[in-house]
Amino acid sequence: MRLSLAPSAAADALCGLTLAAGGSLPTSPGTGRIVAASLCAYHGGLVLNDWADREHDRRTRPERPLPAGAIAAGSTLCAAVLLLGAAVGLAWSAAPTAGAWMAGVCLLVVAYDLWGRGPWSGPSLLALCRAGNLGLGFAFVADPVLLPVGVALASTYGAYVFLASRLGRMEDGEDAQELGQRPRTLLLACAALLLLLPAWPAVLPAWHAPAPAAWAGAVLLATWAALGVVRPALATRHWTRALVERSMGGLLRRLLVITATASLLAPAAAEAFNPRAGWVVGLAILAGYPLSFALRRVFPPS
């Protein structure tokens, strides 16, 4: 299940909920179910992925639990089905619209794990899965006024995941072409998407301006994250698989930065708007990074 990756999945749900509710994290029991559904879908997808890859791992990663014989293939498939089913059930118990949305996300997860491993279909499905996971909060709140905010945020997030996934294919040789400067192009595009996040409230009418301090915090956070991508991208002249792997790690760590930045930008569009909610959720998401790093020692992410 790779529980060290759990903070990333929980961050998707918390970010989506905060923005969908117009800057105030919903306090209904359904909120916890939405976060739990997000976690079940994410980890169910990881388990199903290992089940689908068991023969390939037998040749290339024999130390993994399935090829090593530590866990039966049938038990693994059963766990994946239960987790994905629980994701839909939990979301449906929170709201039927959220349940229907999560069913669509889980179908995308299954499609990726079982069939969608192509150079373009794989990254596209992964992008749709993560964008859909983030959009779950909007399906739960179902406020049509803020729907453009959800579309803009999910599109930006999905585009980032797509580009990162394209880079990831160069990491282990799935993309056997000469690297050239293709990694630099992908990294600079990811940095541009990071910088786009704080600009959305200024260009999207439905995205009502957040509190000035929150917007400034989001700008600083996004700029810091983007510079951390741009500097090594421009400094590298000769790309190797090892350098791509290092850059890939940086992009994955910034998934939490994206959701934290977006949470700070929660639009002041609801009567219950709480200017501190974005800060609380954003800081909670960032706190997930050291938690994830600590869990890596017990639950390795790969």
Note down pLDDT in tens along the chain; length 302 residues.
Answer: 888 889 999 999 999 999 888 777 888 889 999 999 999 999 999 999 999 999 988 887 888 889 999 999 999 999 999 999 999 999 999 999 999 999 999 999 999 999 988 899 999 999 999 999 999 999 999 888 888 899 999 999 999 999 999 998 888 667 778 889 999 999 999 999 999 999 998 888 878 777 888 899 999 999 999 999 999 999 999 999 889 988 988 898 899 999 999 999 887 655 555 667 788 899 999 999 888 888 888 887 76
For residues 291 and 7, is the Cβ–Cβ distance under 8 A? yes
- Cα distances (Å, whole numbers) of residue 126 to 111, 122, 159, 212: 10, 6, 10, 34
Structure tokens at 301: 């992410």
Label residue 176 exposed, middle or buried (CB < 10 Å: 0-12, 13-18, 19+): exposed
What pLDDT shows up at residue 274?
61
How many other CB atoms are found less than 10 A from the CB of residue 103? 17
Task: Using the structure block, give the residue that is written with the tokens 């453009």.
Answer: 148
Q: How far apart are CA 269 and CA 162, in angstroms?
A: 30
Task: Using the structure block, give the residue that is written with the tokens 């899965």.
Answer: 129
What pLDDT shows up at residue 154?
95
H-state helical runs in the chain: 6-20, 29-52, 54-60, 65-68, 73-94, 96-114, 121-141, 147-168, 182-196, 200-203, 212-235, 241-264, 277-295
Q: How far apart are CA 297 and CA 291, in angstroms?
A: 11
Looking at residue 27, the DSSP 8-state letter turns out to be -
Q: How far apart are CA 130 and CA 275, in angstroms?
A: 27
* Domain ranges for the chain: 3-295
What pLDDT shows up at residue 287?
92
What pLDDT shows up at residue 270?
52
Determine which helix (DSSP H) or strand (DSSP E) holds 222, and give its type and residue range.
Answer: helix 212-235
Residues in the chain: 302
User: At residue 165, what is the residue type?
Assistant: S
Looking at residue 271, the DSSP 8-state letter turns out to be T
Please work out, in degrees rounded to the nearest 5, the angle formed at the alpha carbon of residue 235 by the alpha carbons of 229 and 238. 110
Structure tokens at 286: 């960032």
Question: What's the first-to-final CA gap in the chain, in angstroms?
Answer: 10
CA atoms within 13 A on the CB side of 201: 22
What pLDDT shows up at residue 144?
84
What pLDDT shows up at residue 187?
97
For residues 277 and 23, is the Cβ–Cβ distance under 8 A? yes
Packing angle, helices 29-52 and 6-20, rounded to 10: 140
